[in-house]
């Protein structure tokens, strides 16, 4: 009978104005992978921060490896063998891999640091996990996937017996995800307990033993993964069932006019001779592996990155797009992948963010017409069902899904005809995802035309009237709604044949 390495009972935690955790229970056995699920804002992060000593709980008991604990900081939690791999990677990009792994535990030869020793140790640890990374490589030069592998290796090297993985696969390729799962299975056999926070149902089904669901800071229930269904879990998370059926047929009328034409777009290695059309009222999805060049196409089209060549025609007229200003004036809006960095001004309110692309329309020669801004912002908060205490709330205090809605409102208020959504539901829970899908369909009903870039195949199949698949900077395939995952996947792997050397 495996030992219970963690038992949290009756845990509560409040912040000014919000009760983040109310009487929550959670337990974990050695060698178990236990999923922690819930909508954004349900309390998952808060629970983990209480566990790892970043926050102090108000009420409740936590027993770790048989002893009651009350961690006052991360060091204490670390010493007890608990380690968290954050969603937003925490590393020092200017230092090497080995230096990152051994920060705080540097080896010394007399007065001086012994980098050779930590390089050797790093190599051993990475090899044991089957990761091929040079320990002398500068962290900032690695891909996000590799960085995450290093962070996991670092946690293992700290002799952690309890790992918390917060959305670990969000930025990994399929190959890297397989690798991660293999490492997790090895860790299971070694008796390491893992708490797995993710929104990806298929992964939860594959790798976890049990699932615990939180909703609005409260404990809803725990299921054994093998004995539970997708619908059951979703219902626990949102209190209602959601259908995610793939689209069988295109809902765009075949005689719809072409609203956007891109010809021979070239922008470096990631965008090679890309040409395509978008019809009015169509949802066109760009599928492919991470790094296929889809974001780069969108950014080149939008003028965010320079292009070496390419003709763009909006509603039949050729437009010169040298910068986002030109694209926005042509009626194109772009919701970027990384909304915190490129989509919103975190320090500004919901109202101010909503009119960010359209401030001219809401200001006179000297002054801004704040009352009108507040009115239109409120209208869109209602229309999009954005959960925020007020339009004056700072966007940084909203959950991911609601921040995304503020970005969408911005482009709607600008009345862009063509919207490019880049990974619109990344890091967003099932409930909010469904709302965004509904929203996208409402937008095309109103006559907008939408390009969706997505790495989640179920999402692509759910939304697309047509799919363009990219691989390594080129468009490798085009399929209609109703295509299979396998077809799309095979196009996504269709690399350019390298000439024999």
Residues that bind other proteins (CB under 8 A): 54, 73-75, 78, 86, 90-96, 99, 103-104, 106, 108, 111-113, 136, 138, 140-141
On the CB side of 223, how many CA atoms lie within 13 Å of its CA?
A: 19
Q: CA-CA distance, 400 to 396, in Å (whole number)? A: 9
What is the nearest approach in angstroms of other proteins to the Cβ of residue 117? 13
Alpha helices in 330-484, H assignment, sequence order = 339-342, 350-354, 370-384, 400-413, 430-445, 457-463
For other proteins, the closer of residues 91 and 469 by Cβ is 91
CB 169 within 8 A of CB 198: yes
For other proteins, the closer of residues 147 and 349 by Cβ is 147
Q: CA-CA distance, 262 to 176, in Å (whole number)? A: 33
For other proteins, the closer of residues 109 and 128 by Cβ is 109
What is the nearest approach in angstroms of other proteins to the Cβ of residue 141? 7
Q: CA-CA distance, 343 to 353, in Å (whole number)? A: 9
CB 223 within 8 A of CB 232: yes
What is the nearest approach in angstroms of other proteins to the Cβ of residue 234? 32
Q: What are phi and psi of 368, to 5 degrees?
A: -90, 140
What is Dmax (Cα atoms) for the chain? Answer: 78
What is the nearest approach in angstroms of other proteins to the Cβ of residue 197? 17
Copy the structure tokens of residue 243. 């259908």
CB 468 within 8 A of CB 285: yes
For other proteins, the closer of residues 56 and 311 by Cβ is 56
For other proteins, the closer of residues 66 and 104 by Cβ is 104
Q: How many CB atoms lie within 10 A of CB 78?
A: 19
Whose CA is closest to 480, among 285, 261, 258, 273?
Answer: 285
CA angle 299, 302, 308 (to 5 degrees): 70
Whose CA is closest to 476, among 310, 287, 278?
Answer: 287
What is the nearest approach in angstroms of other proteins to the Cβ of residue 243? 40
What is the nearest approach in angstroms of other proteins to the Cβ of residue 159? 13
Residue 419, judged by CB atoms within 10 A of its CB (0-12, 13-18, 19+), counts as buried
What is the nearest approach in angstroms of other proteins to the Cβ of residue 106? 6
For other proteins, the closer of residues 191 and 324 by Cβ is 324
Alpha-carbon separation of residue 71 from 77, 144, 338, 406, 412 (angstroms):
6, 30, 33, 37, 46
What is the nearest approach in angstroms of other proteins to the Cβ of residue 214? 23
For other proteins, the closer of residues 76 and 244 by Cβ is 76
What is the nearest approach in angstroms of other proteins to the Cβ of residue 42? 23
For other proteins, the closer of residues 167 and 282 by Cβ is 167
For other proteins, the closer of residues 141 and 392 by Cβ is 141
Q: Which helix H or strand E contains 220, and what residues bound it?
A: strand 218-224
Residue 333, judged by CB atoms within 10 A of its CB (0-12, 13-18, 19+), counts as buried
For other proteins, the closer of residues 145 and 431 by Cβ is 145
For other proteins, the closer of residues 51 and 468 by Cβ is 51
Q: How many residues does the chain have?
A: 501
What is the nearest approach in angstroms of other proteins to the Cβ of residue 147? 11
Copy the structure tokens of residue 229. 């269904």
Mapped onto helix, strand or coil, the DSSP state of residue 448 is coil
User: Are β-strands 449-453 and 418-422 bridged in parallel, bridged antiparallel, or unpaired?
Assistant: parallel
What is the nearest approach in angstroms of other proteins to the Cβ of residue 396? 15
What is the nearest approach in angstroms of other proteins to the Cβ of residue 265? 22
For other proteins, the closer of residues 155 and 204 by Cβ is 155
CA 469 from chain centre, in angstroms, equals: 20
């Amino acid at each position: 009978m495996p030992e219970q390495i963690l038992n949290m009972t009756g845990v509560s935690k409040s912040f000014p104005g919000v009760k983040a955790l109310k009487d929550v229970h959670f337990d974990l056995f050695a060698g178990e992978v236990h999923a922690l699920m819930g909508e954004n804002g349900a309390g998952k992060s808060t629970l983990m921060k209480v566990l790892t000593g970043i926050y102090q709980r108000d009420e409740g008991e936590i027993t770790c490896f048989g002893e009651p604990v009350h961690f006052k900081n991360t060091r204490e939690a670390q010493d007890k063998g608990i380690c968290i791999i954050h969603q937003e990677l925490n590393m020092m990009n200017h230092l090497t891999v080995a230096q990152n792994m051994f920060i705080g535990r540097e080896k010394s030869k007399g007065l001086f640091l012994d980098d050779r020793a930590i390089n050797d140790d790093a190599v051993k640890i990475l090899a044991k996990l089957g990761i091929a990374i040079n320990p002398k490589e500068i962290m900032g030069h690695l891909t996000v996937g590799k960085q995450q592998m290093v962070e996991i290796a670092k946690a293992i090297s700290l002799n952690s017996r309890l790992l918390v993985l917060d959305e670990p696969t969000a930025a990994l390729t399929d190959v890297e995800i397989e690798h991660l799962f293999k490492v997790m299975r090895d860790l299971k056999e070694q008796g390491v307990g893992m708490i797995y926070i993710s929104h990806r149902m298929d992964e939860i089904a594959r790798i976890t033993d049990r699932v615990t669901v939180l909703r609005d800071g409260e404990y809803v229930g725990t299921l054994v993964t093998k004995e539970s269904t997708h619908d059951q879990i979703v219902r626990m998370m949102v209190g209602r069932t959601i259908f995610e059926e793939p689209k069988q047929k295109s809902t765009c009328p075949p005689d719809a006019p072409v609203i956007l034409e891109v010809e021979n777009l070239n922008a470096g290695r990631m965008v090679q001779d890309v040409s395509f059309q978008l019809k009015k009222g169509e949802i066109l999805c760009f599928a492919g592996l991470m790094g296929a060049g889809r974001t780069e196409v969108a950014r080149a089209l939008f003028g965010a990155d320079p292009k070496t060549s390419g003709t763009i025609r909006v509603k039949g007229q050729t437009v010169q797009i040298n910068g986002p200003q030109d694209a926005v004036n042509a009626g194109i809006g772009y919701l970027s992948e990384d909304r915190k960095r490129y989509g919103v001004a975190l320090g500004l309110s919901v109202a101010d963010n909503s009119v960010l692309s359209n401030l001219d329309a809401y200001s006179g020669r000297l002054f801004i017409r704040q009352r009108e801004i507040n009115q239109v912002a409120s209208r869109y908060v209602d229309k999009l069902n954005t959960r925020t205490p007020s339009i004056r709330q700072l966007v940084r205090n909203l959950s991911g899904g609601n921040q995304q809605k503020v970005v969408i409102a911005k482009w709607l208020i600008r009345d862009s005809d063509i919207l490019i959504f880049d990974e619109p539901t990344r890091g967003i829970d099932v409930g909010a995802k469904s709302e965004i899908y509904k929203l996208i369909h409402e937008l095309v009903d109103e006559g907008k035309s939408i390009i969706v870039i997505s790495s989640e195949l179920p999402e692509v199949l759910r939304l697309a009237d047509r799919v363009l698949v990219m691989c390594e900077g080129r468009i490798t395939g085009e399929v209609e709604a109703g295509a299979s995952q396998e077809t799309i996947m095979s196009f996504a792997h269709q690399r350019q044949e390298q000439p024999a050397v």
